[in-house]
Amino acid sequence: MMPQNWDFGNARKAAGSVASRVIAPDSAVDAALAALGLESQTQEQCIFRIDPYGVPIYVVERKREHDDPVYYKGKGYTDRESLASGLMETVERISAEEFEGPVVRGTYSELKNNGENVVNPLDLHALTLKAWSPPTVAPWAQGYDLLGKRACYAPLNLVVMPYAGPEFFRSNSVGLGAGSTYEEAVCHALCEVMEHDALCMANLFNPNSWRFEFLPEPGQAGPASSQLAPPDTTPDLMFPLLRIDSFPETALRVARALQDSGLLVFARNISNDMGVPAVSCVLAETLPGGSCRAYLGHGAHTDAEHALVRALCEAAQSHSVSRWMVENGKMKSIPESAGDPERLYGYGRSGDFSEIPSFCFRAIDEEIRFLLQRIERCGLEHALAFDLTKKKIGLPVVRMIVPGAEYLVMEPGEQKLGPRAQKLLEFRKAAFLNTVNIPR
């Protein structure tokens, strides 16, 4: 049952779990199988362990009567942790297809004028698919602001996934979390929001992602504009690579298993002003002709080691699932990138894992309170929780939306930056201008 006013009780963590869980992975697997109605005789037909190098990865196939099957993925350091992850993702995605809570229809202005607490969609940095403005009529889902301690509305389009109506914003899975308790679900969802916030901020310092354009002064002769790729500004600034030999034991085992299979491993500390440990990981396969394939993974958690292990396991998941999909005719090919992996992913200074501050708690409710404090510390005022739990499944599923948190958009020219990211970009721009001669 959802806590009254989302006031979380003591939720001590179970031992032996990389994720924040109040029950052991074996029990989480049993609970998810029962909730999904997957009996033992049907499990072999839809649950597959696919890892080629000992990092356990699972795929759960969901067959649909009038559509193609959907595949959900699980990762973890142990077999049971990985299977629990895959089953919980299945619960999460099925539950997120509908919102069973209160929904009102109207414009942003109408809700504001009626005294409702409503989030401005322009503060969410979502990819806009259709023109949206305050007079746009849309359905709004009622959630609860964990910081403001009151009900609050956000566009239904950004709560459910996929969204069946006119889609003003691209719906996505960022901020979805499932668990055996609401505390688990909220913690997982908050960590994912912070993970993507960190990804967007760190991408501002990726020398392969940005170009600075210089426009001539009015009346000045010469080219209309010129572009320069920024030099690597990270050595003296932010977001260092992590030396693999500095990893703690569990993460080191995962990294060595990936290296032994012929993959290049790049792990990067992407922790930002939120003050929550965050790590990104790229696994690269070199190909003849100077190209490569890259497989990405990311993780954020109060415990830095958990963030690192999650990022490594998620990158391993990306690699294993991509291969499995191609080998089984479910995907034509794996995308390739031109260029040397060391240049594309190995830029910047290197640092030790121990440079990442870590915050370890015995209970998940303590982790939630810490994460909310970090959100407020950055000047963000709201953390909206939406209960997506499906009655017929029964396992808690939550969507967390944090207005003002950054979100990395992969489509060229579509990235939206909030004040925190804009400030960081100006910092990087200043560092860039100190290293180059501006074209004249």
**116-120, 224-228, 256-260, 399-403: which range is least confident on average?**
224-228
Would you place residue 205 in the very low, low, confident or very high pLDDT band (cuts 50, 70, 90)?
Answer: confident
Q: Which helix (H) or strand (E) holds 35?
A: helix 25-36
Q: Is the separation of the CB atoms in 110 and 140 below 8 Å?
A: no
Angle at 189 between CA 150 and CA 63, to 5 degrees: 120
- Rounded distance, CA 26 to CA 80, Å? 6
Angle at 291 between CA 286 and CA 293, to 5 degrees: 60
- SS3 (DSSP) at 55: coil
Residue 233 confidence class, pLDDT cut points 50, 70, 90: low
| Model pLDDT, residue 45 | 84
pLDDT of residue 440: 46
Q: What is the pLDDT of residues 146-168, one digit of tens each?
A: 999 999 999 999 999 999 888 88
Q: Name residue 212's beta-bridge partners.
A: 228
Omega before 235 cis (within 30°)? no
Q: What is the mean pLDDT of residues 325-354?
A: 92
Least confident of 28-42, 86-100, 295-309: 28-42
Question: What are 280-316's pLDDT values in tens digits?
Answer: 999 999 998 889 999 999 999 999 999 999 999 999 9
CA dihedral 204, 207, 209, 210 (to 10 degrees): 80
Cα-flanking dihedrals φ and ψ of residue 214, to 5°?
Answer: -110, 125
Ordered alpha helix ranges (H), 328-418: 341-345, 364-377
What is the sign of the dihedral through the CA atoms of 72, 126, 148 and 163?
negative
The 3-state DSSP class for residue 322 equals: helix
Closest CA to 242 of 285, 185, 280, 187: 280
Per DSSP bridges, beta strands 137-145 and 384-387 are antiparallel
